[in-house]
Structures are given as C-alpha cells and as structure tokens.
Structure 1
C-alpha cells in the first residue's frame, strides 16, 4: 500500500516511528494537499452562489480555472508522499553498496550522486508547483465565499509551510551534491521562498480584511 492510501492515523503513526520514511518530505506533501483541498472547498462553496453570479465573465473564468487547478493539484501533491519516500529509500540503498574495490567505490559514488539528485529534485518540484498554486489561493481569497474566507487563509499558511519545508529538504541534500548548478538552485530556492512569502502576505491581508 502506498503512503497516500493509508489512513490518517496509520500515516501519523508511521511518521512518528523510528523509520526515516515517511519523513519531513512526506509531511510537506500532506500539508500541500491539505492546502489545495481547502482552496477547492472554498471554490466549491463559491461557484453558483449569489456573489459569484455578480462577478464579470473574466472573473468567473479566473475562479473556475483556479478551482480546476486546485482540485487536480490535491491528488498531485499526495503523490509526492511516495515520491519522497522512494527517493530517500533509493539513496539509502546507494549508501549500502559495496566499496571494497576501486570499481565498486566508483559505482557507489555515482549511485549516491544520482540518489542525492533525485532526493533533491522531488521537494524542489513540489515547491515550484506550490508557488504557482498560491496564485490560485489568492483568487480564493479575492473572490471566495466570505463565510469560509478564513479557510483560504489556512490554505495559504499550509502552502507556505510546505514550500519552506520542501526547500529545507532541497538544501539538506544539496550540500552533498557535486554539481555546477548548486548556486543556481540555491538562488532559485531563495526566489521561490521570497515569492511565496509575498503571496502569503497578500492573501492574509485579503482574508483579514473580510473577517
């Protein structure tokens, strides 16, 4: 059974155990899926309501597109729970490879570097997807049903937490990677975190104004 198919109780039990999988990456993916699901709820309680009918056609189109994206991303984000676990397990397997000869040592190092790259790319891709999703959460805060507008705020908080958590997981692997792209990846991460923080602040301002 995949982690994403487990009950909440089972997942949390395994998260708290001595097993390194699932770990922080899996928790970040859960936070991401909770975020997109909450925004989907806001949209579902907005579309076809009286306030929605008063929007312009362009605004309605923006809301509907945002709702469709959030619904799709909920399942996508859940898939990152297992992607993260698989990447970590693969990396651990590489560290266990024999190093008794020069040839085996070389093979082991190549596999470790490949494992580190994959373990770094999974959270990096999750963070990239979520920064884009936060634009849709902003739409929920702008046009969402005022009775559930606080949920748009919670969605933004969870998305930001997932992005920062994912970037931590990028950094912990990046320091061991031998690549000329390291500085560029660090810069990309800093830019994503800055953009996510700006979006979160914008969303929270919109939410608090409607409370």
Structure 2
C-alpha cells in the first residue's frame, strides 16, 4: 500500500520528522532542505545582533535585526512551496502518453511545472543572497564573541544557495523556450558567483 502523503507544513514538523522524511520520502527534497538551512543561517546571524543589542542598544543594529526577521519570514514558506512545485512536476511526468494528444498534454504540463520548479529555488537563492549581504553588515555590528555564529550563518547560507541552485540546473532544460532557458541560466550564473564573493566578506 502506498504511504500517505504528509501534508503537515514543514515548520510545524519536528526536526526528527523532517529529517526522516528527507531520508525516506520523495518529498521533501534538496530544495526544501536548503530553504530550512537558509533560515537557520539567518537565525545564527540574528543571534549576534539580538544578543549584542541586549548589551548596548543601537539603531543601526535594530534596522539589521528587522531586515533579518523579514528575510526569515520570506524564507519560511519556500520549503513548502518547493515541495508543492516538485510534486506538481512529478505528477506531470506520470501523465499518460499512449496517444499523440496525451503526449502533447503531458509535454505542456511538464514545461509549466518546470517553470515553477525553477522559479521557487531561484527565489530561495535570491533570499540567500540578500541574507549573505546582511551577514556582511551584521558582522560589523555584532560583538566579537558572536563572530563564529555570524560566520557559520554565512556558511549555511552559501551552502543553501549552492544546493538550491542544483534544482535550477536540473530542470532548466525542461523549460519551454530558449529565451526562458537563457534567463534562468543568467540568473543561475550570477547568483552562484555572488555567493562566493559575499561569503568571503563575512
């Protein structure tokens, strides 16, 4: 009997449940794992800012904290969006193709699903890029004892960005037009390059 799909939102699951789902189910996959990892990276950067703010209030630090909290609010739903996008893509691949009409319908469905399966990880990668930029600025306004937390947050974000781009790379060829493929490839190249540069500044 096929195992029932777990519809519990990622951030309402326990860590052990999410870990085990990664290990044993088709979904969640690397995109959802990368999104969660990115949120944890932002949290480590925020730790240095929050605890430094408790010792000495700074308006600049408050602005950075607000920026980090907004980034995590934006990152949080992307794990579930990634799961939904790839479930849609898998469903498209499973469509029947025993007639020419069904083959054409399946082909269109794959292209449409692939567009979402590329756009969601690109959105995650762009937020990781913004969070890496935050990490660079946060390091200047966090106390020295939190430097390792800030740097570790940057490492997690860079790893999340690189990981989520693997989904983009895997599905770009499924897109419907050459122009769309070029657009995605250009975004992919820029994000991957910027991640390396930003990480060295944290």
In the superposition, the TM-score normalised over structure 2's length comes to: 0.90
Q: Does 1:163 align with 2:170?
A: no
Q: Does 1:30 align with 2:36?
A: yes
Show CA shifts across 1:43-97 (max 9, x none).
Answer: 11122524x55xxxxxx33x22221121122232221111111001011111122
SS at match of 1:185: helix
Q: Give the equivalent residue in structure 2 for 1:177.
A: 175
Measured after TM superposition, the shift of residue 192 of structure 1 is 1.2
Preserved CA contact (<8 Å) 1:39 1:67: no
Q: C-alpha deviations, 1:13-55, integer Å up to 9, x for none?
A: 11111x21011111101110101111111111122524x55xx
Residue range with higher mean Cα deviation, 34-43 or 172-181:
172-181
Counterpart in the other structure of 2:88? 90
1:139 and 1:32 mapped to 2: Cα distance? 17
Structure 2 residue 148 is the aligned partner of structure 1 residue 150: yes
Identify unmatched segments of 5+ residues in structure 1: 54-59, 204-211
Task: Between 136-145 and 182-191, report the one with greater CA deviation.
Answer: 182-191
Partner of 2:22: 15
Task: Report the aligned-residue RMSD.
Answer: 1.5
Matches within 5 A, 1:135-146: 135-146=133-144
Q: Does 1:106 align with 2:112?
A: no
TM-score, normalised by the number of residues in structure 1: 0.86
Residue 186, structure 1, aligned to residue 185, structure 2: yes
Partners of 2:87 and 2:116 lie apart in 1 by 11
Runs of 4+ aligned residues of structure 1 deviating over 4 Å after TM superposition are none
Per-residue deviation, 1:183: 2.2
Please give the secondary structure, in 2, of the residue aligned with 1:160: helix
Structure 2 unaligned blocks of 5 or more: 1-7
Report how far residue 146 of structure 1 moved. Answer: 1.4
